[in-house]
Structure 1
Amino acid sequence: MQDANLNTIPLVFPDILVIVGGGEVDVPLLEQLSHEGARLIGADGGADAIMAAGLVPDAIVGDMDSVSDPEGWPEPVRVIHIGEQITTDFEKCLYSTRAPITIALGMTGRRFDHTLSAISAATRFARERHIILADEHDVALAISGPFHFSVARGERVSVYPLAPIRFLSSKGLLYPLDGLHLEQGGLIGTSNQAVEGAVDIVPEGDTPWLLVVEKSHLPALTAALREQPAGL
């Protein structure tokens, strides 16, 4: 087992990285992403979910307290033990990797506190990289700065503030965000709706925010993100 102090990190991936946790994993989506060339990392016990899908992770990262057999993986799989207990295994995966787009599976569902931890981790890294949390129904993109994407007229578009944030403008939404200040415990932007195909959302500054749409839009989101590089 490799220890993180041996200059084994960060692990750099050229395109989509999928980090798999121990929550509810959409196995068909995991299989599809792997077939399309995404690289896979197990966040500790998430590696078992990857193997259960008949796939092999590129690496396993975490404190190794929940993976079934941290010593029994084949040689190509990098097993990186990080013993610190200040961060979650998801956060360990995020600070140990670099990738233009990161999709997290199994980070939500089952336990609500795990979902909150995943959102907190995504907030922390949203200025550095594009992170998408996927569950059985929706995808939630943690992002900072403006974003342009396309959905069909009438589609649900939710915007959620990960910190107090002011939006300068929006286009294509039934309820415009122009000049609105959003914050948890105050005004939020959930259950909005697209009124035309193209949607533009422009916040002030680089405060992280969350865009939530139906899971079917994941390919379109990743395509749009490729056109809008993050500050890696």
Structure 2
Amino acid sequence: MRSPRPLALIGGGPVAAEDIEEAIGLTAGFVAADGGVAHLTDRAIRPLAVIGDMDSADADAVAAEGNPVHRIDEQDSTDLEKCLRAIEAPLLLGLGFLGGRADHNLAAMNALVRHAGAPLVLLGGEDICFHCRDTLVLDLAAGTRVSIFPMAPLTGCLSEGLRWTIEGLAMRPDGQIGTSNMALGGAMRMGFDGPGALVILPRHLLAQVTEVLLQGAP
């Protein structure tokens, strides 16, 4: 499916009422990943589509409620990955993929760095998480937490506005990481010599981050 505007993906993990409200304000509608449709049904919100292998939701019951179901019968990818393959949009906001089970969190973060399409921002209880594909520039208040987790070996090649520089820092998942850094205040710039850097920020920065990622989207 295609959308000229950002879309929200909703999974089966924890989703708070404020998550739904933020997504309504930032996107054109919801696509449910399999059992994530229950979050929308509980709030009388109709999804644009329900995508997945439908092992967590009754496909017939979901379709009977008038919801378009796109069933993908394979077990080699997660329902989030199935949604990412099936959707074209300028930006995606993921709810219900952080929090809850640790293996689900790790699988969602893995999908972040493997996905080559639209920018995807995962929304959690305290954080947002996204893949830094290019130079990132944000306006941050002094003391804002800035965390970087490498999902592949990479080296920081640009570092401005951070208390601890990442420039020249070699990071890898089983070695040096970059969590719990801090913004000095004002413009913060970071960049890396390749893909694989997950950026984790406080969730109040969601609107600014989505705006910046949209500006860089093709």
Bin the TM-score by the shorter chain: over 0.9
Deviation at residue 12 of structure 1 after TM alignment: 1.0
**Which is helix-richer, 1 or 2?**
2
Asked if 1:32 is matched to 2:61, the reply is: no
Match among 53, 56, 63 for residue 43 of structure 2: 53
Percent of pairs identical after alignment? 32
Structure 2 residue matching 1:217: 3-state secondary structure: helix
Cα root mean square deviation, aligned: 1.4
- Supply the distance in 1 between the matched residues of 2:104 and 2:91 (Cα, whole angstroms): 21
Partner of 2:175: 186
Partner of 1:6: none
Q: 1:224 to 1:111 in 2, by over 3 A?
A: same
Partner of 2:104: 114
Deviation at residue 27 of structure 1 after TM alignment: 2.2
- Supply the distance in 1 between the matched residues of 2:42 and 2:211 (Cα, whole angstroms): 28
TM-score by length of 1: 0.88
Which ranges of structure 2 fall in alignment gaps of 5 or more residues? none
Deviation at residue 73 of structure 1 after TM alignment: 2.5
Partner of 2:217: 229
- Supply the distance in 2 between the matched residues of 1:35 and 1:47 (Cα, whole angstroms): 19
- Supply the distance in 1 between the matched residues of 2:5 and 2:152 (Cα, whole angstroms): 28
Match among 141, 147, 158 for residue 169 of structure 1: 158
Which ranges of structure 1 fall in alignment gaps of 5 or more residues? 1-10
Q: 1:31–1:53: 8 Å Cα contact kept in structure 2? A: no
Partner of 1:7: none
Q: 2:153–2:196: 8 Å Cα contact kept in structure 1? A: no
Partner of 1:72: 64
Deviation at residue 37 of structure 1 after TM alignment: 4.2
When structure 1 is superposed on structure 2, of 31-40 and 12-21 the one drifting more is 31-40
Deviation at residue 122 of structure 1 after TM alignment: 1.1
Deviation at residue 38 of structure 1 after TM alignment: 2.8
Deviation at residue 15 of structure 1 after TM alignment: 2.1
Structure 1 residue matching 2:209: 3-state secondary structure: helix
TM-score by length of 2: 0.94
Structure 1 residue matching 2:62: 3-state secondary structure: coil
Structure 2 residue matching 1:45: 3-state secondary structure: helix
| Residue identity matched to 1:61 | I
Q: How many residues align?
A: 216
